[in-house]
Structure formats: structure tokens, C-alpha cells
């Protein structure tokens, strides 16, 4: 039942998306208000204002993401009147759901949907990233994964995940959500890896990006909702992993466990790149 509700929310957010003449996606605030179960525009506008402030605080201009528009609506008498609305960027929607009522299930699903979409678009729009070769993308994303895993460890510890065993169990919950029930050991076996090889070092850029979404969104959710206790932390990691998987499915992507394993382990790739860099410096 919960899975059906999550899918419906995701489909709703996707169906509300508009595309302008410049092929830029946007959402109308009034439509998003209804989708997020806010009955009053005044209450929703308070969330909008908090999101705009967060946008300014993030170093971006709110006007670039929250564009005020005027709409004409028909009244029961047949006459028309103007109402206030906003055309929202994906980032604006992300900030709105981050500042909305977290007790609403639709808000939790919206946070995952817009967070994943925003991060995917950031990578897609990053010209320097797109110019990278596959092995360079792998190196870049693996480096990001290491940094965000450190943050995830710290946040999980604050939630009550203390020992190495606790964290191994916590990590497995995230993998199970993202990989359709497969834990680290099962993924390792499916990839045909040797005992000393790490899973994250044997992923392509697409698979690494999915795991990066899983890690960053779990860390944010644990911190944002001040989740306490190992059981709740594990459940959170599983749910976030599952939602990332669901989004991949809805976008028509390949499931992580079905993505090909690269020929070269990243540890070997890193040593090779470092060696080539050394030779280049010697030549200079």
C-alpha cells in the first residue's frame, strides 16, 4: 500500500511539470500546493517565503527560481479575476519540500523526488562533468562518495549507530532498499568480485551516482528529522534507498544490480592515473 502511495506521489510531481519555449522545466506553485496537501494558499505562501529565504542564503537569487506570475481564474458567476502564482524551478520545488510540514507523507516523497531530480540535473548541466570520460566520471563520483560517506557515518553515529557492526547493518539496509533486497555480500557476489575488492570501487558512473543520491539523502533525512535509534536509522536508510530505486524505475533506467561492472577496479585505475601523472611531471 505504501509503495502504491509513493508511486502515485512521484507520478503526480512528474505530471505537474511544465516545459516552456526554451525547453526549461518548471512547476506552478498553486498546483504544487494542492499536490502537497496544503488547503490554504496563505499557509503555503509561508512555506514559499521560507524557501525563498533559503535560496538567498544558499548564494542563489530567489528571483531566478521563484518567478511571480499572474493568472486569470473564472469565478462561479462567469466573471474572472487575477490571482497570484509562481513559476518554480526544480531547485525551488526542492527548497519548498525541504521547508514544508515533514509529518505529511507526500512531503517525504517530494523531498526524495526533487532532491534526486535536482542532483541529476546538476550533473547533466555541468559541462565540465559531461566532458569527462567514463573513467574520469568514476573517479570524480567515487571521491564525492567517500566525502559523503564520512558525513553519513557522523550523522548515523549521532542517531545511535555506534559500533562497526551497527554501521555494517545500517549500510546493508541502504543497499537492500536500492538493490531490491540485495545486501552488500549479495551485490559483491553478483558482481563476481574478489574478496579484497570493494563494491563502490567496481561501479560505473551511473551506479555510483545512484549510490551518491542514497548516501546524501539519507544523511539529510537523518539530520533534518533528528532521527534517533538504530532501528529508525536503519529503516530510514532502507526507505531512501528504495525511493531512489523507484525513481530510477519511473525514469526508465536500468536497475543498479543490472548495470555492468567496469573492467577495471577503481583502486587500479587510481594507481594508473597517479603513475601517468608522475610520468607527465617527470617529462616536464
Query: Is position 124 within any domain?
Result: no
Q: Which residue has the higher pLDDT, 284 or 278?
A: 278
Query: How many domains are there within the chain?
Result: 2
Query: Is position 122 within any domain?
Result: no
Do residues 149 and 37 both lie within one domain?
Answer: no
Give the pLDDT mean for 118-123. 64
End of a domain among 60, 95, 110? 110
Q: Give the domain range for residue 10.
A: 1-110
Three cell numbers, residue 220: 539529510
Can you tell me the distance from the alpha carbon of 193 to that of 196, in angstroms, rounded to the nearest whole number? 8
The CA–CA distances, whole Å, from 216 to 24, 146, 223, 235 equal 26, 11, 11, 16
pLDDT score for 176: 98
Give the pLDDT mean for 55-79. 83
Q: Which residue has the higher pLDDT, 71 or 118?
A: 71
pLDDT score for 281: 40
Three cell numbers, residue 153: 557515518
Q: 88: which strand partners?
A: 27, 66
Q: Could you give the maximum distance between any two Cα atoms of the chain, in Å? A: 82
Query: Is position 115 within any domain?
Result: no
Do residues 87 and 183 both lie within one domain?
Answer: no
Looking only at the bridges linking them, the beta strands covering 66-74 and 80-88 are antiparallel
pLDDT tens-digit map of 253-276: 899 999 999 999 998 888 877 766
Do residues 194 and 239 both lie within one domain?
Answer: yes
Measure the N-to-C terminal CA separation of the chain; round to a whole number of Å: 63
pLDDT score for 173: 98
Can you tell me the distance from the alpha carbon of 205 to that of 41, in angstroms, rounded to the nearest whole number? 42
At 281, which helix (H) or strand (E)?
helix 266-283
Three cell numbers, residue 159: 542517531
pLDDT tens-digit map of 158-204: 999 999 999 999 999 999 999 999 999 999 999 999 999 999 999 99
**Closest to 217 in 3D by CA, of 205, 206, 225, 207:** 225
Query: Is position 257 within any domain?
Result: yes
Do residues 103 and 144 both lie within one domain?
Answer: no
Query: Is position 99 within any domain?
Result: yes
Contact 204, 196 (CB under 8 A): no
Query: Is position 94 within any domain?
Result: yes
Can you tell me the distance from the alpha carbon of 185 to that of 163, in angstroms, rounded to the nearest whole number? 19
Do residues 66 and 141 both lie within one domain?
Answer: no
Do residues 75 and 155 both lie within one domain?
Answer: no
Do residues 238 and 202 both lie within one domain?
Answer: yes
Q: Tell me which DSSP letter residue 68 carries.
A: E
Which percentage of the chain shows pLDDT scores above 90? 48
pLDDT score for 198: 93
Do residues 100 and 153 both lie within one domain?
Answer: no
Give the pLDDT mean for 53-75. 86
Mean pLDDT, the chain, integer: 85
Query: Is position 116 within any domain?
Result: no
Three cell numbers, residue 158: 549521532
Can you tell me the distance from the alpha carbon of 32 to that of 43, in angstroms, rounded to the nearest whole number? 13
Can you tell me the distance from the alpha carbon of 226 to that of 155, in angstroms, rounded to the nearest whole number? 10
Residue 144 banded pLDDT, cuts 50, 70, 90: confident
Q: Looking at 139-143, 201-205, 223-227, 274-278, which range is the least confident one?
A: 274-278
Give the pLDDT mean for 98-103. 82
Residue 282 banded pLDDT, cuts 50, 70, 90: very low
Do residues 151 and 255 both lie within one domain?
Answer: yes
Do residues 156 and 262 both lie within one domain?
Answer: yes
Three cell numbers, residue 216: 546524501
pLDDT score for 250: 81
Can you tell me the distance from the alpha carbon of 228 to that of 206, in angstroms, rounded to the nearest whole number? 32
Query: Is position 236 within any domain?
Result: yes
pLDDT tens-digit map of 77-87: 667 888 899 99
Do residues 185 and 98 both lie within one domain?
Answer: no
**Closest to 29 in 3D by CA, of 45, 46, 6:** 45
pLDDT tens-digit map of 5-60: 455 555 677 788 898 888 888 999 999 999 898 989 999 999 999 999 988 888 88
Can you tell me the distance from the alpha carbon of 13 to that of 268, in angstroms, rounded to the nearest whole number? 42
pLDDT score for 279: 45
Give the pLDDT mean for 58-67. 90
Instruction: Dump the DSSP string for 123-151.
Output: HHH-HHHHTS-HHHHHHHHHHHHHHHHHH
Plot region of 23 (φ>0 → left; ψ -120 to 50 → alpha; else → beta): left
Amino acid at each position: 500500500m505504501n509503495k502504491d502511495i509513493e508511486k502515485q506521489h512521484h507520478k503526480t510531481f512528474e505530471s505537474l511539470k511544465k516545459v516552456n519555449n526554451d525547453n526549461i522545466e518548471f512547476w506552478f506553485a498553486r498546483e504544487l500546493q494542492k499536490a502537497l496537501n496544503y488547503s490554504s494558499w496563505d499557509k503555503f505562501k509561508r512555506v514559499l517565503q521560507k524557501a525563498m529565504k533559503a535560496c538567498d542564503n544558499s548564494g542563489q537569487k530567489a528571483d531566478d527560481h521563484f518567478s511571480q506570475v499572474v493568472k486569470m481564474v473564472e469565478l462561479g458567476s462567469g466573471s474572472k479575476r487575477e490571482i497570484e502564482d509562481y513559476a518554480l524551478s526544480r531547485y525551488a520545488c526542492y527548497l519548498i519540500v525541504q521547508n514544508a510540514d515533514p509529518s505529511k507523507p507526500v512531503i517525504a516523497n517530494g523531498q526524495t523526488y526533487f532532491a534526486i531530480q535536482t542532483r541529476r540535473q546538476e550533473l547533466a548541466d555541468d559541462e565540465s562533468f559531461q566532458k569527462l570520460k567514463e573513467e574520469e566520471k568514476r573517479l570524480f563520483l567515487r571521491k564525492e562518495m567517500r566525502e559523503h560517506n564520512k558525513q553519513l557515518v557522523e550523522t548515523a553515529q549521532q542517531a545511535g549507530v555506534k559500533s562497526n557492526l551497527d554501521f555494517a547493518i545500517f549500510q546493508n539496509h541502504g543497499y537492500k532498499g536500492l538493490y531490491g533486497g540485495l545486501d552488500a555480500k549479495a551485490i559483491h557476489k553478483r558482481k563476481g568480485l574478489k574478496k579484497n575488492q570493494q563494491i563502490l570501487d567496481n561501479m560505473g558512473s551511473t551506479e555510483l551516482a545512484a549510490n551518491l543520491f542514497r548516501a546524501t539523502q539519507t544523511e539529510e533525512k537523518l539530520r533534518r528529522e533528528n532521527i534517533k535509534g538504530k532501528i529508525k536509522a536503519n529503516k530510514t536508510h532502507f526507505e531512501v534507498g528504495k525511493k531512489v530505486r523507484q525513481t530510477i524505475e519511473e525514469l526508465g533506467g536500468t536497475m543498479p544490480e543490472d548495470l555492468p561492472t567496469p573492467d577495471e577496479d577503481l583502486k587500479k585505475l587510481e594507481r594508473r592515473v597517479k603513475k601517468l601523472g608522475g610520468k607527465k611531471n617527470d617529462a616536464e
